[in-house]
């Protein structure tokens, strides 16, 4: 898959498949609402507070969810979620926990303390397991902490020509479980909330812009409303409004760590170099949630990084919406904004195979300048 295609598909995931729900499928078009007065983002270079870089663990054939025997140890794999880990983790975690039930002994080790590892630990604990998490890094230093985070279940996840009916069924089950779990966390101090998202368009969206929508059932995303000239405050003729779930990583991951510990789980700082080291653990069940680390740990060369970076502006509590897109096709292209308690997150990168953790200054300038232009022209 070429870089341009990858960028486009990654971008479609940012607002829950972008405009995929705009086509009149299953009542996806929302009832028109009165125009909202939206607070503009104060986008300027003097409000930039930091830039972070993370690697999404991408596999062209999608995430891995399967059991493996290592002598007397049951090894369950749960990794390779691309940019969809925050979205799908509760679902694949439940499915991994169900595979772990093949062993009668309810003692398990989880390898990894990002969102996949933490939700897997919780799903195991719900099923009576005594859980120990082993990880080289813990929040706030995990890859999950670097994510934009939201309901983006198809972002950087799988290439269409590598999908199989069995994998699609697993994806849809995982998405259905996770969508419900995340909704139940809203308003409970987990940093999960509903947020209006606006996809900005120069032309009226049509069915052709729904590429990839068939992967996600209609009922697993809120309906979209197409807004024409004068119906929104942005400097583009058209905008597509779709509410979606937002996740604030620092709040969310810290709460999950606390939940694991409150349920009797423990966290051990340790790095593993081989399957043999996993098999040597005392726990008879080991769940591999190492993300990109699985490339070397279990010899999966299909795993590659999708490098992404976020530049954060000073927080603005009054900004209660997100955007996807620029004021014009030539003013930044693939860019997006999402507000969080710790800052206004600006993004717009997805580079396959780039292992660097250094920010790309050209991309940073493109993204910030595009938002300065967008919000400077907002009416």
Average pLDDT over residues 198-224: 79
Label residue 127 by pLDDT band (50, 70, 90). very high
Give the span between the Cα atoms of 102 and 116, in whole angstroms: 20
pLDDT at 192 exceeding the cut of 80 = yes
The architecture CATH gives domain 3-58+195-247+305-376: 2-Layer Sandwich (3.30)
What pLDDT digit, counting tens, does each position of 233-250 carry?
Answer: 999 999 999 999 999 999
Average pLDDT over residues 319-323: 98
Give the span between the Cα atoms of 182 and 88, in whole angstroms: 10
Average pLDDT over residues 253-280: 98
Average pLDDT over residues 125-150: 96
The pTM score is: 0.91
pLDDT given for residue 32 in this prediction: 58
Ramachandran class of 333: left when φ > 0, alpha when ψ lies in -120 to 50, beta otherwise: left
Sign of CA dihedral 292, 294, 297, 301: negative
Residue 29 is classified by DSSP as B
64-148+249-302 belongs to CATH 3.40.50.720: yes
Label residue 332 by pLDDT band (50, 70, 90). confident
What pLDDT digit, counting tens, does each position of 213-230 carry?
Answer: 578 999 999 999 999 999
User: What 3-state class would DSSP assign to 131?
Assistant: strand
Which of 65-74, 85-94, 285-294, 320-329 is predicted least confidently?
A: 320-329
pLDDT at 293 exceeding the cut of 50 = yes
pLDDT given for residue 13 in this prediction: 43
Label residue 31 by pLDDT band (50, 70, 90). low
Give the span between the Cα atoms of 32 and 320, in whole angstroms: 19
Label residue 197 by pLDDT band (50, 70, 90). very high
Average pLDDT over residues 96-119: 98
Sign of CA dihedral 299, 13, 312, 86: negative
Pairing of strands 238-247, 48-58: unpaired
Give the span between the Cα atoms of 132 and 121, in whole angstroms: 8
pLDDT at 337 exceeding the cut of 80 = yes
Give the span between the Cα atoms of 191 and 188, in whole angstroms: 8
Label residue 211 by pLDDT band (50, 70, 90). very low
Task: Spell out the residues 6+ positions from residue 110 whose beta carbon is closer than 8 angstroms to its own.
Answer: 117, 120, 121, 124, 131, 132, 133, 134, 286, 287, 289
Range list of β-strands (E), 92-237: 107-111, 130-135, 192-201, 225-227
CATH 3.30.9.10 intervals, the chain? 3-58+195-247+305-376
Average pLDDT, the chain: 90
Average pLDDT over residues 132-147: 96
CATH 3.40.50.720 intervals, the chain? 64-148+249-302
User: For residues 108, 113, 119 and 124, what is the CA-based torsion angle, rounded to 10 degrees?
Assistant: 10
pLDDT at 15 exceeding the cut of 80 = no
Q: How many other C-beta atoms lie within 10 A of the C-beta of residue 163?
A: 16
């Amino acid at each position: 898959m070429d870089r341009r295609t990858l960028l486009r598909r990654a971008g479609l995931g940012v607002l829950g498949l972008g405009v995929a729900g705009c086509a009149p499928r299953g009542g996806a078009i929302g009832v028109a609402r009165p125009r909202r007065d939206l607070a503009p983002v104060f986008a300027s270079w003097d409000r930039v507070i930091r830039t972070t870089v993370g690697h999404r663990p991408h596999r062209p054939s999608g995430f891995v969810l399967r059991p493996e025997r290592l002598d007397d140890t049951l090894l369950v794999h749960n990794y390779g979620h691309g940019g969809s880990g925050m979205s799908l983790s509760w679902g694949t975690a439940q499915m991994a926990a169900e595979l772990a039930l093949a062993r009668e002994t309810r003692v398990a080790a989880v390898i990894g303390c990002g969102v996949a590892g933490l939700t897997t630990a919780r799903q195991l604990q719900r099923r009576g397991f005594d859980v120990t998490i082993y990880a080289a890094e813990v929040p706030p230093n995990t890859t999950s902490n670097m994510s934009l985070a939201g309901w983006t279940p198809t972002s950087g996840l799988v290439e269409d020509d590598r999908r199989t009916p069995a994998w699609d069924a697993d994806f849809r089950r995982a998405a259905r479980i996770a969508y419900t779990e995340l909704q139940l966390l809203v308003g409970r101090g987990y940093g999960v909330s509903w947020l209006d998202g606006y996809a900005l368009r120069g032309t009226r969206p049509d069915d052709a812009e729904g590429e990839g929508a068939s992967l996600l059932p209609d009922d697993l995303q809120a309906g979209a409303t197409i807004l024409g000239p004068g119906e929104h405050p942005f400097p583009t003729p058209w905008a597509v409004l779709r509410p979606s779930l937002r996740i604030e990583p620092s709040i969310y991951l810290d709460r999950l760590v606390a939940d694991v510990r409150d349920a009797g789980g423990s966290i051990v700082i340790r790095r593993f170099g081989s399957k043999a080291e996993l098999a040597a653990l005392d726990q008879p069940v080991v769940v591999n949630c190492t993300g990109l680390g699985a490339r070397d740990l279990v010899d999966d060369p299909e795993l590659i990084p999708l490098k992404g970076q976020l530049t954060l502006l000073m927080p603005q509590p009054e900004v209660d919406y997100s955007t996807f897109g620029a004021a014009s096709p030539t003013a930044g292209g693939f860019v997006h904004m999402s507000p969080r308690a710790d800052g206004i997150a600006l993004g717009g990168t997805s580079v396959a195979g780039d292992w660097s953790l250094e920010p790309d200054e050209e991309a940073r300038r493109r993204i910030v300048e595009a938002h300065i232009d967008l919000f400077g022209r907002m009416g």
